[in-house]
Structure 1
Amino acid sequence: MILGIDVGGTHTDAVLIESGRIRKTAKVTTSPDRIVDSLSGIAQDLLKGESLEKIQRIVLSTTLSTNAIVQNKVDPVGLLVISGPGLSPSHFEIGGNTRFLSGYVNHRGIETAPIDPAEVTRFHEEFLRKGLKHVGIVGKFSTRNPNQELQVEKSIHNGLDHVSLGHRMSGHLNFPRRVATTYLNEAVWERYSSFVRQVISFFQGLGLSVPVYILKADGGTFEIQHSVEFPVYTILSGPAASIMGILSMTPDNKNDAIALDIGGTTTDIAVFADGVPLLEAFGVTMENHKTLIRGLRSKPVGIGGDSMVYVKDGQILIGPERKGPAAAFDGPCPTPTDAMIFLGLTDIGNRSKAEKAVQSIAEIMGITVQEAAEIIFENTCEKIALHVHSVIEEINNQPVYTIHELLEGKKISPKILYIIGGPAKPMSTRLGQLLGCPVCVPSYYEVANAIGTALARTTAELTILADTEQGTMTIGEEGIQEKLPSRFTREDAIETGRRMLRERALRLGARAEDLEIEVIEDQEFNMVRDFYMTGKNIRVKLQVKPGLIAGFKTGELS
């Protein structure tokens, strides 16, 4: 059996899957300040009466890192940045405690200026005086040679709780994104590591010793113990969970598609190209911080089933604020859910309380309750549809990247609309009309995120940079730089990458049967000096492709 739990901003959903079928589902209200309580409560409820020895795998997705960043509940971070020549250091300042070190590694990984140990000591002592316990170290070309970052880390480890290194965050270049990624990773580390300790303790207390995984932004997982070093990878795991849920429960459709996850607070909009989810290939953006974290492309908009409905300047407005649950569930104000209950589109909650809430809007507007409910419902659907059109227009003005490849010249033209989340059924018909698409509301649409979480395979990526003139090979994500054998070729780089990526993925918790490795970048450049070729610069990037674990195929879950 597999236990999947999605801790969302409004609700925590859980599912128990056995032999390719949904055995049990559960849904509770999330306690934002006590996420572990929400998780443990629903797990205990779902596992009650079950044979725990049958549990083979536990997978979680959580909004903890995302919410910490959005709500600015992060720890102060000291940043030591080795920026070298180029842009002014002011471009890289984040958080008020950024300090710049002498030293430089150039674009080929050659050290052209050494680190000043006295400078490192001075900044280290300053951080300790300020009570800073978290530090990030970032060099401009550390993915080509991590030695300066490692040297600085060795000098400052005393007195600190944790240090994040820029070269470990991603094999991609882009220095500003690397600085932001390293900063965010360290800023949420304390809160996230405490969460992981509590989760592990809880499941051990139940007598479960099976692997526990956490979902990442790219729709893949890694073992929760390993996730402690990279909490920034777990940002936006909620939208990733919904996309993976849709993949697991809908037919293997090769058409362009829209995917909506309508929650209580927000609606997440995702798009599929030729049946494949789109990817933020260069990295997701969190609170204006552009990162190097690869993530499934999804846009949250501030409208959901529990969005506050109010009147301003003679207009009925909806969201983006959520004051609590719908009035039908004893919430403080009218919501779209109350309108849908009154209109008979759903039979949940207390209808009389829903009617009373909608009536308060009707009286202000001088219209009937029926008219008010219809306006609220229509405006909610129209607002979501408007955002969908905006998302498609934005995508069609940019290169289209899927989780597998760049689609040259691709223009998205959706042929089907997938909807999940609590309000999916009552809103599906109208949204389909507004967007001009046939609609698919999958089975178990209310807990689709938990299903997608449960079935996601472990993903990983690796970047090989080989300079045959220097005779060096660097693997940034692993912090490795080693000598090349003679006559090293692009084919050798790919073979080495496959071997090392397999080892990395297994170390992160992947099962051998889930390893679908593919080359996603493959470049080779001649190095020329005085009109003679002196070597080659080889760059290869590989990934374990996101998807469902072995034994599950798209659309087969029931």
Structure 2
Amino acid sequence: MTVDRRIRVGIDVGGTFTDAVAVDATTLALVGQVKVPTSHHHADGVAHGIVQALEELLVKAGRTAGDVTFLAHGTTQATNALLEGDVARVGLLGIGSGAGAVFTRRLASFGKLELAPGKRLPLSYAHITDPFDEAAVRAAVERVRGAGAEVLVATEPFGVDRPEGEQAVLETARSAGLPVAAAHEITSLYGLHKRTRTAVVNAAILPRMLATADLVDASITKAGVTAPLMVMRCDGGVMSLDEMRRRPLLTILSGPAAGVAGALMQERISEGVFLETGGTSTDISVVRRGKVAVRHATILGKTSYLNALDVRTVGVGGGSMVRLAGGRVTGVGPRSAHIAGLPYACFAAPDELRDARLATVRPMDGDPDDHVVLDAAGGRFALTLTCAANALGRVPDGDFARSGQESARAALAPLATALGTDVAGAARAVLDAGTKQVEAVVDAMIRDYRLDRDTAVLVGGGGGAASVTPHLAAHTGLEGRIARHSEVISPIGVALALVREQVERIIPGATQEQILAVRAEAEQAVVAQGAAADGVEVEVTVDPQTSTVRAVATGATELRTQDRAHRADDTERLRSAAGSLKARESMVRVLAGTDAYTVYGTEVRRRFRGRRRPVRVVDADGVVRLGVPDAQVATTTVGAAGEALAALVRDATAYGDGGVRAPAVRLLVGARIADLSGVLEPDALLALARSELRSRGADEPVVAVVEPRS
């Protein structure tokens, strides 16, 4: 029997270290991990560290370059370039005549955008009245090039609907030998100012990102890797290297996206909050109905048309120092032991903590002098959130942050004396203070995204996960757990991430044909980047208030099939569904099923609120993949689905002052959950359903989960 040695490799380039993991391509089990210093100062930049990490990883995992079927990396390079002001000068070519020229000329003000203290976005502007006048375009290009421009952007009012002018300028400008881009290529949303600003910022980081991409690509090819190189996006997916060369801005803010991608793919979260806790801070993000939550990102203090993970950061991490005043714990952080240059007290040997005395210090000049330290036989130590978690037994065996119980309790003992309580009471006081700030953000995100608290789970990642997530779960009553291999959840996320593309169009009164065209464009884009066509899923949303049609397509670069030796049995799946439904198992019944999913439901009667039929869709692993508070479930076949769905949608469509609102529909077919809930117009919904089922056999079963809208 031939052993399958194929692996997926994920590499996460951080500010200090570059982490790499190898994941078995069949079972998705972790088979190797390494950590090397990030090579900021090497002649090849961060590319050198990526290749070094890959070489060490292959040795550790006992694999060769030929075993790599997928290779992706995430990098903070784009983010750091903007934060540090290390960007290229942009030559902005504004197009317009008559009254329209006034608006275009105003775009020269982007040269005032502040990147870092004392550093502004380097920009040179030249105006073009007629984009088809090649001599005038060449003269404009020479003006900005003479001013030092390294990359060119063309922009014109109404360029989304009439891109011919921008395209003509690019055709002529390419002869200058500089990278070129048109604003409509970066985003197809209306708004000249915001669209151009997004394109200009993208261009500013383009040359540096191109240089790194070329180095990494050449290096891994030389190393013998034949799998195409992918790059982490800021929305939790990956893109091809060619796509990154066109839109490097998509990699900005991608650091937190890698972690939540890991939680989504490895931990199979369908509804919940992911908390990635490091030494100094916690990044908090949301997974709703099996998808990461994204929004238009703020870049350089301004909103952009860049769709990025909605991540909110709290200055509380595993190394956050305890603060004490007036005989009580007043807070934890934002200063950490790392900033103070002190070791964690809980990682000291018991002998080193002999004769420990409590003291307070200023970690940095200007800080309050209320940060707690221990002066003991072994020197000075910081009292941190990790110390409290270990003292209270919140850190599981084998965890990255686990310390000896004796040391942790000895570290908390002087604080307990100062507070007039025992060690457990002191530890709870510290953890309460630390998680209070995190809880406020978690509650806000649950409200903002209308998560169902009955199904929402808290999942902790990062090296400091155990210092926040377990105590927060216990305090809030939400289900909580620490992700497997939490300390390398980010590179795991990179290794498991799906190819992703989002297409947005503003189409007033969009027809079925136009909606399907946007869907097809997104699907074709991920296939062009290497996704297997048979596994692509597309979610379409139509926003009638803004006339925006949005299609998000995701797919794997190969059809991944997990080892099915450890799947949940009927009893385990029922238990999982009942736990999520907060119902006794005897009150839960099977409503429908496919080879990949089982649909469970129960009935809830509430005084004055009538009857509800909550539903849970559970996969073969026993993971709840979809939770709906009130739904009708029907089983049909692909051949009969057209008529059956039309009747279901007709009966559940709501009519009112706000217009027609079709129900939220999800279809279970094969191994997919086709989410059609983003469409409110019944005919468009049914057209999308037909599109989803078109390639399926007529006898294949289909389960429809139909959720009426209020």
- Alignment TM-score, normalising by the size of structure 2: 0.60
8 A contact 1:457–1:514 mirrored in 2: no
Instruction: Tell me, in whole angstroms, the C-alpha distance in 2 between the residues paired with 1:127 and 1:368.
Output: 69
8 A contact 2:264–2:290 mirrored in 1: no
Q: Does 1:13 align with 2:5?
A: no
Larger radius of gyration: 2
| Partner in structure 2 of residue 520 of structure 1 | 541
Q: Does 1:388 align with 2:395?
A: no
Q: Does 1:510 align with 2:531?
A: yes
Change beyond 3 A, Cα 1:126–1:85: closer
8 A contact 1:462–1:542 mirrored in 2: yes
CA deviation after TM superposition for structure 1 residue 300, in Å: 2.6
Instruction: Tell me, in whole angstroms, the C-alpha distance in 2 between the residues paired with 1:510 and 1:119.
Output: 42
Alignment of 1:219-368 (within 5 A): 219-251=236-268, 253=270, 256-280=271-295, 283-307=296-320, 318-319=333-334, 323=339, 327-328=343-344, 334=382, 335-337=384-386, 340=389, 346=395, 348=401
1:435-480 CA distances to partner (integer Å, 9 max, x unpaired)?
331212232222222222222221224467899xxxxxxxxxxxxx
**Quick one: which amino acid aligns to residue 552 of structure 2?**
Q
Change beyond 3 A, Cα 1:495–1:345: closer
8 A contact 1:382–1:434 mirrored in 2: no
Change beyond 3 A, Cα 1:21–1:134: closer
Change beyond 3 A, Cα 1:188–1:435: farther
Instruction: Tell me, in whole angstroms, the C-alpha distance in 2 between the residues paired with 1:344 and 1:166.
Output: 54
Instruction: Tell me, in whole angstroms, the C-alpha distance in 1 between the residues paired with 2:73 and 2:32.
Output: 14
| Partner in structure 2 of residue 71 of structure 1 | 84
Instruction: Tell me, in whole angstroms, the C-alpha distance in 2 between the residues paired with 1:520 and 1:202.
Output: 40
Change beyond 3 A, Cα 1:238–1:344: same
CA deviation after TM superposition for structure 1 residue 517, in Å: 3.3
8 A contact 1:418–1:439 mirrored in 2: yes
Q: 3-state SS of the aligned residue for 2:284? A: strand
**Quick one: which amino acid aligns to residue 99 of structure 1?**
Y
| Partner in structure 2 of residue 473 of structure 1 | none
2:551 to 533, 542, 552: 542
Q: 3-state SS of the aligned residue for 1:164? A: strand
CA deviation after TM superposition for structure 1 residue 260, in Å: 0.8
8 A contact 2:318–2:467 mirrored in 1: no
1:196-243 CA distances to partner (integer Å, 9 max, x unpaired)?
122223322321111221121222222223311211111222222222
1:49-89 CA distances to partner (integer Å, 9 max, x unpaired)?
31432221112222221222233222232323347268685
Change beyond 3 A, Cα 1:323–1:462: same
8 A contact 1:418–1:440 mirrored in 2: yes
**Quick one: which amino acid aligns to residue 534 of structure 2?**
E
Q: 3-state SS of the aligned residue for 1:125? A: helix
1:22 to 3, 26, 29: 29
| Partner in structure 1 of residue 50 of structure 2 | 39
Alignment of 1:14-163 (within 5 A): 14-18=20-24, 19-28=26-35, 30-31=37-38, 33=40, 34-48=45-59, 49-82=62-95, 84=100, 90=106, 93-96=109-112, 97=123, 99=125, 101=127, 103=129, 120-121=137-138, 123-159=140-176, 161-163=178-180
Change beyond 3 A, Cα 1:440–1:232: same
Instruction: Tell me, in whole angstroms, the C-alpha distance in 1 between the residues paired with 2:517 and 2:93.
Output: 32
Determine which structure has greater relative contact order: mean sequence separation of CA pairs < 8 Å that are 6+ residues apart, divided by chain length: 1
- Structure 2's unaligned 5+ residue stretches are 1-6, 113-122, 349-362, 364-379, 563-618, 624-710
Change beyond 3 A, Cα 1:71–1:267: farther
8 A contact 1:60–1:453 mirrored in 2: yes
| Partner in structure 2 of residue 405 of structure 1 | none
Stretch of structure 1 that moved more, 423-432 or 118-127: 118-127
Sequence identity percentage: 24
Q: Does 1:451 align with 2:496?
A: no
Instruction: Tell me, in whole angstroms, the C-alpha distance in 1 between the residues paired with 2:74 and 2:39.
Output: 14
- Alignment TM-score, normalising by the size of structure 1: 0.74
2:9 to 3, 7, 27: 3
Instruction: Tell me, in whole angstroms, the C-alpha distance in 2 between the residues paired with 1:312 and 1:115.
Output: 71
**Quick one: which amino acid aligns to residue 225 of structure 2?**
L
Change beyond 3 A, Cα 1:391–1:121: same
8 A contact 2:78–2:252 mirrored in 1: yes
Alignment of 1:191-230 (within 5 A): 191-230=208-247
Instruction: Tell me, in whole angstroms, the C-alpha distance in 1 between the residues paired with 2:266 and 2:211.
Output: 33
Alignment of 1:396-407 (within 5 A): none
Q: 3-state SS of the aligned residue for 1:453? A: helix
CA deviation after TM superposition for structure 1 residue 261, in Å: 1.1
CA deviation after TM superposition for structure 1 residue 387, in Å: 3.0
Instruction: Tell me, in whole angstroms, the C-alpha distance in 2 between the residues paired with 1:557 and 1:320.
Output: 41
Instruction: Tell me, in whole angstroms, the C-alpha distance in 2 between the residues paired with 1:189 and 1:351.
Output: 48
Instruction: Tell me, in whole angstroms, the C-alpha distance in 2 between the residues paired with 1:333 and 1:382.
Output: 24
CA deviation after TM superposition for structure 1 residue 47, in Å: 0.9
Change beyond 3 A, Cα 1:494–1:317: closer
| Partner in structure 2 of residue 173 of structure 1 | 190
**Quick one: which amino acid aligns to residue 379 of structure 1?**
A
Instruction: Tell me, in whole angstroms, the C-alpha distance in 1 between the residues paired with 2:343 and 2:279.
Output: 13
CA deviation after TM superposition for structure 1 residue 362, in Å: 6.8
Instruction: Tell me, in whole angstroms, the C-alpha distance in 1 between the residues paired with 2:490 and 2:102.
Output: 44
8 A contact 2:95–2:128 mirrored in 1: yes
1:183 to 187, 200, 218: 200
Q: 3-state SS of the aligned residue for 2:438? A: helix
**Quick one: which amino acid aligns to residue 2 of structure 1?**
R
| Partner in structure 1 of residue 580 of structure 2 | none
Q: 3-state SS of the aligned residue for 1:460? A: strand
8 A contact 2:506–2:549 mirrored in 1: yes
| Partner in structure 2 of residue 108 of structure 1 | none
8 A contact 1:144–1:465 mirrored in 2: no
**Quick one: which amino acid aligns to residue 111 of structure 2?**
G
CA deviation after TM superposition for structure 1 residue 188, in Å: 1.2
Change beyond 3 A, Cα 1:386–1:501: closer
Change beyond 3 A, Cα 1:504–1:286: same
1:96-124 CA distances to partner (integer Å, 9 max, x unpaired)?
42536355xxxxxxxxx767767645543
Instruction: Tell me, in whole angstroms, the C-alpha distance in 2 between the residues paired with 1:214 and 1:429.
Output: 32
CA deviation after TM superposition for structure 1 residue 506, in Å: 2.7
Q: Does 1:551 align with 2:560?
A: yes
Change beyond 3 A, Cα 1:539–1:42: closer
Instruction: Tell me, in whole angstroms, the C-alpha distance in 2 between the residues paired with 1:244 and 1:17.
Output: 14
Instruction: Tell me, in whole angstroms, the C-alpha distance in 2 between the residues paired with 1:36 and 1:153.
Output: 30
- Structure 1's unaligned 5+ residue stretches are 104-112, 401-409, 468-488, 526-537
Instruction: Tell me, in whole angstroms, the C-alpha distance in 1 between the residues paired with 2:311 and 2:128.
Output: 39
| Partner in structure 1 of residue 699 of structure 2 | none
8 A contact 1:166–1:182 mirrored in 2: yes
1:485-510 CA distances to partner (integer Å, 9 max, x unpaired)?
xxxx9455456555554443332222
**Quick one: which amino acid aligns to residue 272 of structure 1?**
V
Instruction: Tell me, in whole angstroms, the C-alpha distance in 2 between the residues paired with 1:509 and 1:244.
Output: 19
Instruction: Tell me, in whole angstroms, the C-alpha distance in 2 between the residues paired with 1:439 and 1:263.
Output: 18
Stretch of structure 1 that moved more, 7-16 or 231-240: 7-16
Change beyond 3 A, Cα 1:131–1:275: closer
| Partner in structure 1 of residue 645 of structure 2 | none
Q: Does 1:379 align with 2:433?
A: yes
